[in-house]
């Protein structure tokens, strides 16, 4: 049974990811996890029969361990992790589950070694940026036998407009910007 546990699965990033995953043939179950069980149940109900809900407290090791039992992949979309990311990642490795997160957590050599020992992947910086943009940079580098300079160009004015519009979009969502944070997940 290939199960993905989505921590922050009720949030603005977590739920769209869960919707993709629940329709993926390599995924058997998607568990939407959050501190608020009622919100998790509401979100999971939109996923169909393979969507489940679970109450999880990411600040509690026992709660994390119980939620990760039997899980194949732990996906974390928690924002403003403030140390939670490392806690959640450690719990995933201890549970023998692969770990995927959107955040840019600081490198942790011990955690890296533990993940290698457990035979699981510990993927950071996944998503559109920097994930996809990092892929693009590598793809450009691979085109040359002897790459010498990588120039990453961003057109500030275009991106300013984009991010401003995006922020406006977030604010208009129920709960505003805070709806994407852990507290709401």
Among positions 33-62, residues that touch another protein (CB under 8 A) are: none
* Least gap, CB of 66 to another protein (angstroms): 21
Neighbours of 107 (CB within 10 A): 7
Of the candidates 66, 162, 171, 177, which one interacts with another protein according to CB under 8 A?
A: 162
Of the candidates 1, 49, 153, 174, which one interacts with another protein according to CB under 8 A?
A: 153
Identity of the residue, 25 or 49, whose beta carbon is nearer to another protein in the bound complex: 25
- Binding to another protein (CB under 8 A): which residues in 106-135? 107-108, 111-113, 115-116, 119-135
Asked if 75 interacts with another protein (CB under 8 A), we say yes
* Least gap, CB of 19 to another protein (angstroms): 8
- Binding to another protein (CB under 8 A): which residues in 8-27? 12-13, 16-17, 19-21, 24, 26-27
Is there a contact between 173 and 49 (Cβ–Cβ < 8 Å)? no
Contacts of 171 (CB under 8 A, 6+ apart): 177
Per-residue HEC secondary structure of 31-85 comes to EEEECCHHHHHHHHHCCCCCEEEEECCCCCHHHHHHHHCCCCEEEECCCCCCCHH
* Least gap, CB of 29 to another protein (angstroms): 12
* Least gap, CB of 57 to another protein (angstroms): 23
Identity of the residue, 154 or 174, whose beta carbon is nearer to another protein in the bound complex: 154
* Least gap, CB of 32 to another protein (angstroms): 14
Is there a contact between 8 and 80 (Cβ–Cβ < 8 Å)? no
CA torsion angle 17 22 28 33 (round to 10): 50
Query: If residue 7 lies in a helix (H) or strand (E), which one and from where to where?
Result: strand 3-7
Bridge pairing between strands 73-76 and 98-101: parallel
């Amino acid at each position: 049974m290939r199960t993905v546990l989505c921590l922050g699965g009720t949030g603005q990033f977590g739920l769209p990811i869960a919707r993709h995953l629940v329709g993926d043939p390599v995924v058997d179950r998607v568990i939407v996890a959050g501190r608020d069980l009622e919100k998790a149940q509401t979100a999971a109900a939109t996923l169909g029969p393979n969507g489940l809900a679970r109450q999880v407290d990411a600040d509690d090791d026992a709660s994390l361990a119980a939620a990760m039992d039997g899980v194949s992949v732990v996906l974390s979309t928690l924002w403003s992790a403030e140390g939670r990311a490392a806690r959640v990642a450690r719990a995933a490795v201890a549970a023998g589950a692969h770990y995927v997160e959107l955040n840019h957590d600081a490198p942790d050599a011990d955690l890296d070694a533990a993940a290698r020992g457990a035979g699981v992947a510990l993927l950071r910086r996944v998503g559109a940026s920097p994930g996809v943009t990092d892929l693009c940079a590598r793809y450009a580098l691979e085109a040359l036998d002897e790459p010498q300079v990588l120039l990453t160009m961003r057109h500030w004015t275009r991106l300013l407009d984009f991010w401003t519009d995006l922020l406006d979009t977030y604010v208009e969502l129920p709960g505003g910007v805070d709806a994407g944070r852990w507290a709401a997940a």
